[in-house]
Amino acid sequence: MARYFWLIPLLPGASALVLLLLGPKLSRRWVSWQACLTVFLSLALSVMGFVHLIRAGHGAGGLAKTLLPWIASGSFSSAISFVFDELAAVMALVVTGVGLLIHVYSIGYMADEKAYSRYFAFLNLFTFFMLVLVLASDIVLMFVGWEGVGLCSYLLIGFWFERPAASKAGMKAFVVNRIGDAAFIVGVLFLLVNVGSSSFAAINAAPAAGLLGPGLVTLVAILLFVGATGKSAQIPLYVWLPDAMEGPTPVSALIHAATMVTAGVYMVCRLDGLFSASPAASSVVAWVGGLTAVFAATIALVQNDIKRVLAYSTISQIGYMFLGCGVGAYAAGMFHLVTHAFFKSLLFLAAGSVIHALGGEQDMRKMGGLKKLLPTTFPVFLVGALAISGVPFLSGFFSKDAILAGAFAGGHYALYALGLSGAVLTAFYMFRLVYMMFYGGSRATHHAGTAPHVHESPSVMTVPLVILAVFSALAGFAGLPVLLGEKANWLGRFLEAVLEPAAHHLVASTEVGLILAATAAALAGIALAFVFYRRRPDLPDRTVRAFPGIHRLLVGKYYVDEAYDAVVVRPLVIGAEKVYSRFDLGVIDGALDGSAAAAAAAGKGLNVLQSGLVRDYALAFLIGAVLFLGALLL
Amino acid sequence: MIPPGAFLLVAAVLFALGVLAFFIKKDLLTQFMAVEVMLNAGNLALLAMAKASGLAAGQVIVLFVITVAAAEAVIGLAIIVLIFRQRRTIRTDELKDLRG
Amino acid sequence: MAWAVFVILSVLCIGSVLAMIVSRNQAHNALFLVLAFSCLGGLFGLLDAPFAAAAQVLVYAGAIMVLFLFAIMMFNLREPAPREKRRLRTLLAAVLGLVLFAELAVAGLRALAPGSAPPAGPEGLAGLGRLLFTEYLYAFEITSLLILAALVGALALAGKKEGA
């Protein structure tokens, strides 16, 4: 049955097609069932494939299937073919598993939405493209998926397109992604020219085979990574992700937490052969990741919209994943990708539940005291917060520790320090969120006469939350630190079938030390948040007053958006307007109107010939006859 | 014997004169007459060639031409009468409904 | 002798046509044409085509032109057609006419060039009759139908429909 793994992307794709064409005519029940069932089937197939891989043993069970020949140009050819190896399996499980839970959650969340079928059509479409990206066997097909998820992201961010903010956010996401994609394409072109093939196997083997010189490897790797910074929202192309929160919350959970934004990490892991071959590129990856992790965390400290906090948190956590990949610990990066998918989507969905319960409120300064009012949402949110903060034994603890251990083991102490400080910040801002939302008295503003009717969400929304919470808590046990025995890091060994193994290993004592340090960091962050937001509620304001400049900088997100706007956007817009007025209106429209006017003038001129007088027509005959005779005679 | 070429020349002159007449005259009837002149010039040429080549076909054709020209003149005149009845004029300058 | 007849008839014919062009009175035009057609009949005779000559005089000069005269009488136009105002048009027509004449002349003379002495002439009227009823039988019959159709058509078109 695992042979049919290639149906995994096609089932949601078919569903998307049906929903796009017939959606409005189908009943809501049908739409819900169809959308969720297809993802469920994909999940089932992924599980079967996964089991098959385990049974087949280390690296032996990779499945491949070519569907259609596609490009055949000169010596280069690429077919539409999928591959299901360990790395793809992990990603497919995450995408279909978390995807299914979010599809189900959406049934409840979008229950009042008019364009119900359009939403699910896009959601299915996204799942299709993401799975194409994940299962592609060569970089060109992966790029198709890459672009496709970008498109779906645009469609879903701007789902409520009647709102100008949403529509602008969608465009911003697409355009910024495009910039990254431009670099990506150049990188792919270099690869195609030098390697001659687009398959991952060929690319990963190319540096060793001498097809790519060291300079070229670094260049290509960095170009591809720039594409990844766009897709995965790292410095410098992260600016679209916070704005993307204009979309429906389940979309934020699925696309902008669990799956699409992790595509960049997946890409780097897929091409680990390429990145390992270039220490320069790897260190770029690691440093961008590390700096982004801290940078985004600092911004998250002062945001008041819960979705914004989570957005910057996502940017920060993906930074960790790239940090892991950059130092050679690819399996650790993937591990964090998996755990992050669980707890971040959990946090988003729970936040969505809160927003839904409060009738649309997203500002945490207006929340508080929700602990008792939302008895299911609160505990799961807490689990997610604990997980992301790296509290021991929850999933985030293990995955984050794996990354930090990898950094430390490779001798990248500066990066380790960055990661550790990021951990403190993470714990702090997450628990700031928790305390402000769920504890204390209610600061909700009451509109005249109507108190908001705060109610727990329906079970179609809470059940996925609980499932995600369970995974967030327990998933860590898939990748226990090696110090507990060789067999402990199950996920790592599973992935090693495909990924380059981590280069360095630590002595047990160092590892214990690192674990303790990480735990301390997490607890410190939580404690600090407790002090600031429970014990001494005046402290936040006093701190702000003490450091107004820094606070302004952080609230203004380091003014990066404004800088981009001034340096890049405005000149382009002005230039485009000039081109439009001079060239488009002047030249092209002028030529068009001119030729139309010329045709009309010609017509008017020729109109003289149609005088209606028989005599003139006869004259024309005569002239023709004379000429004709002349021609015959000559 | 008179060479057939002479007759052909005369026919050519007559034809050209007929054309000239058609273009100079402004009333329908006279223009129609000019057409008849042209037809006759053609007849003359046909007969000249019949004499020159010895084939009797030329004379047969001329016969038919005369007959058909008669029929055509009848119908043409009937139409002109109709036009006159409706428009009270036969000046071609004033009959320009074909204007595009 | 034959030359003299030829020249007289040709000059008369061409002169009548010229007069027709110049004259602005429709009745005069028609009468000039009668003269022209008659001369043409004579020319046909010079070409050893007696039947054609007779038909020309009988049908053309006799019937068709009389039809024209009847039509002119019916229109009863008082004022003659105005003089052609546009000089350019006349000039253009004249030039084109001249060119046309030249071309026709050249074409005609070329057609004659390879011809040697004409072979034995046609067998005269009897031969003509035989041709009409053998080779050209269909044309002959259809032409008679044509005349019938023209007759009926003319009646249908121009027959007076009182109070229609």
The residue type found at A28 is: R
Whether residue C92 and residue A619 make contact (CB cut-off 8 A), yes or no, is yes
Residue range A253-264: average pLDDT?
A: 86
Residue range A281-296: average pLDDT?
A: 92
The residue type found at A624 is: G
Residue range A574-599: average pLDDT?
A: 86
User: How many residues can be counted in chain C?
Assistant: 164
pLDDT given for residue A614 in this prediction: 78
What pLDDT digit, counting tens, does each position of A293-303 carry? 999 999 998 88
Do C60 and C133 have their domain in common? no
Q: Which of A105, A97, A123 is nearest to A23 (CA)?
A: A123
What pLDDT digit, counting tens, does each position of C7-18 carry? 999 999 999 999
The DSSP output letter for A63 is E
Nearest to B56 among C72, C111, C131 (CB): C131
Residue range A252-275: average pLDDT?
A: 88
Interface of A with B (CB under 8 A): 607, 610-615, 617-619, 622
Question: What are the Cα distances from residue A604, in Å, to A226, A593, A599?
Answer: 60, 16, 9
Residue range A419-436: average pLDDT?
A: 91
**Chain C hits for A623, Cβ within 8 Å:** 96
pLDDT given for residue A549 in this prediction: 82
In a domain, C74, yes or no: yes
Mean pLDDT over each residue of chain A, to the nearest integer:
86
* Alpha carbon of residue C32 to chain centroid: 12
**Chain A hits for C103, Cβ within 8 Å:** 626, 629-630, 633
Better-scored residue on pLDDT, A76 or B10: B10
Phi, psi of A75 (to 5 degrees): -95, -5
**Chain B hits for C26, Cβ within 8 Å:** 27, 29-30
pLDDT given for residue B61 in this prediction: 92
Q: Nearest CA of chain B to the CA of C18: how many Å?
A: 7
Domains and CATH numbers, chain B: 4-87 (1.10.287.3510)
Given a cut of 80, whether residue C60 has pLDDT beyond it is: yes
What pLDDT digit, counting tens, does each position of C88-140 carry? 777 888 888 888 888 888 888 887 766 555 555 556 788 888 888 888 899 99
In a domain, C76, yes or no: yes
Q: Kindly indicate the confidence band of residue A448, based on its pLDDT and cuts at 50, 70 and 90.
A: very low
In a domain, C110, yes or no: no
Do C131 and C64 have their domain in common? no
Whether residue A633 and residue C92 make contact (CB cut-off 8 A), yes or no, is no
pLDDT given for residue B5 in this prediction: 85
Do C28 and C67 have their domain in common? yes
Do C151 and C89 have their domain in common? no
Q: Nearest CA of chain B to the CA of C11: how many Å?
A: 9
The beta-carbon contacts of C18-25 under 8 Å, at least 24 apart in sequence, are C18/B17, C20/B21, C20/B30, C20/B33, C20/B37, C21/B17, C21/B20, C21/B21, C21/B24, C21/B25, C24/C80, C24/C81, C24/C83, C25/C80
State the Cα–Cα distance between residues A98 and A120, nearest whole angstrom. 15
Residue range A339-349: average pLDDT?
A: 91
In a domain, C149, yes or no: yes
**Chain A hits for B93, Cβ within 8 Å:** 613, 615
Given a cut of 70, whether residue B27 has pLDDT beyond it is: yes
What pLDDT digit, counting tens, does each position of B78-88 carry? 988 888 888 77
CATH of the domain at C32: 1.20.120.1200
Whether residue A615 and residue B98 make contact (CB cut-off 8 A), yes or no, is no
Between chain A and chain B, the number of residue pairs with CB atoms below 8 A apart is 30
Nearest to A626 among C100, C106, C110 (CB): C100
Whether residue B96 and residue A607 make contact (CB cut-off 8 A), yes or no, is no
Question: Domain total for chain C?
Answer: 2
Question: What are the Cα distances from residue A614, in Å, to A176, A417, B49?
Answer: 70, 100, 33
Nearest to C112 among B4, B59, B67 (CB): B4
Lowest-pLDDT range of A239-248, A542-551, C23-32: A542-551
pLDDT given for residue C143 in this prediction: 93
Do C99 and C138 have their domain in common? no
In a domain, C25, yes or no: yes
Lowest-pLDDT range of A3-7, A271-275, A294-298, A308-312: A3-7
Do C65 and C131 have their domain in common? no
What pLDDT digit, counting tens, does each position of A30-55 carry? 899 999 999 999 999 999 988 888 88
Do the Cβ atoms of C81 and C24 come closer than 8 Å? yes
Q: What radius of gyration, in Å, describes the C-alpha atoms of chain A?
A: 29
Token pair for residue A632?
């015959």
pLDDT given for residue C164 in this prediction: 46
pLDDT given for residue A452 in this prediction: 56
The DSSP output letter for A234 is -
Residue range A98-112: average pLDDT?
A: 90
Residues whose CB falls within 8 Å of the CB of residue A76, separated by 6 or more in sequence, listed in order: A192, A196, A197, A198
User: ipTM score of the complex?
Assistant: 0.88
pLDDT given for residue A428 in this prediction: 92
Do the Cβ atoms of A340 and A328 come closer than 8 Å? no
Domain that holds residue C162: 125-164
Element housing A70 (H / E): strand A63-73
What pLDDT digit, counting tens, does each position of A161-193 carry? 898 999 989 999 999 999 999 999 999 999 888
Do C21 and C95 have their domain in common? yes
Do C28 and C82 have their domain in common? yes
Do C95 and C135 have their domain in common? no
Do C83 and C48 have their domain in common? yes
Whether residue C107 and residue A629 make contact (CB cut-off 8 A), yes or no, is yes
Whether residue A629 and residue C96 make contact (CB cut-off 8 A), yes or no, is no
In a domain, C144, yes or no: yes
**Chain B hits for A610, Cβ within 8 Å:** 98-100
For testing contact with chain B, the best of A613, A616, A621, A622 (most B CBs within 10 A): A613
In a domain, C141, yes or no: yes
pLDDT given for residue A323 in this prediction: 94
pLDDT given for residue A450 in this prediction: 43
pLDDT given for residue A444 in this prediction: 67
Neighbours of A494 (CB within 10 A): 23
Q: Which residues of C23-60 are buried (b: 16+ CB within 10 A; e: fewer)?
A: bbebeebbbbbbbbbbbbbbbbbbbbbebbbebbbebb
Neighbours of chain B (3+ CB pairs under 8 A): A, C
Residue range A239-260: average pLDDT?
A: 88
In a domain, C113, yes or no: no
Q: Kindly indicate the confidence band of residue A196, based on its pLDDT and cuts at 50, 70 and 90.
A: confident
* Side-chain-side CA neighbours of residue C87 (13 Å): 0
Do C8 and C88 have their domain in common? yes
